[in-house]
Amino acid sequence: MSLLVKICGLSTRETLDVALEAGADMVGFVFFPPSPRHLALETARELGRQAKGRAVKVALTVDADDATLENIVETLQPDILQLHGRETVARVRDIKQRFGLRVMKVLAVETATDLAPLAGYAAVADRILFDARAPKGATRPGGLGAVFDWRVLEKLELDLPFMVSGGLNADNVAEAVRVTRAGGVDISSGVERSPGIKDPELIRAFIRAARATEELTVR
């Protein structure tokens, strides 16, 4: 099984094209105003058309209400909704049923105790993304370049597909995959020259490094 590579927070035609040509499996678009990667709907429409049929389109939201989600779904036509907030298990279930799309729930991780809600989310989501817990006072839950202790996932038994993110880059992605045995990796700030500004060479380098890990055991 090959490793899934997701480049998140893409915001221009040029950098999206770099990610697609370099072989990204998933491309993520952020809809959260406090983020430097937040997209206007009209920009999202253009990027969604550009990515259609070339990669899985992922819409990242944070505790979005139904009206916001409806606008995003109509405009981007995503394949997956990534829920990066404090959405409850019931809310995840409702979103999935209402919009008829695959849902990836993000679980913030710092210690093993943070895995306590996992079983509930795994029962309703299609995929789990483990990300580093944001520091206290942060204005957004992810895209901060923070790494969590991957050993928390070392003995994880989870039938659902899962990915890891948080502080990944071309130098540490192999170790992250080796320790967690994740089936996918997700990067945003690690391929940026400044917040929200993607660097084409960093995108290419990360995807090359991620592909080089594929002889490792993944699931």
CA-to-CA distance for 98 and 93, rounded, in angstroms? 9
Structure tokens at 36: 């430097």
Give the count of beta carbons closer than 10 Å to the beta carbon of residue 195: 14
d(CA 5, CA 159): 19
First-to-last CA distance in the chain?
7
183 forms bridges with which residues in the sheet?
none
3-state helix, strand, coil in the chain (%, to 5): 35, 20, 40
| Catalytically active residues, by annotation | 8, 131
Q: Are 150 and 185 in contact (CB under 8 A)?
A: no
In order, the DSSP letters of 148-192 are: --GGGGTT---SS-EEEESS--TTTHHHHHHHH--SEEEESGGGE
Collapsing DSSP to helix, strand or coil, 133 comes out as coil
Euclidean distance between CA atoms 15 and 170, whole angstroms: 17
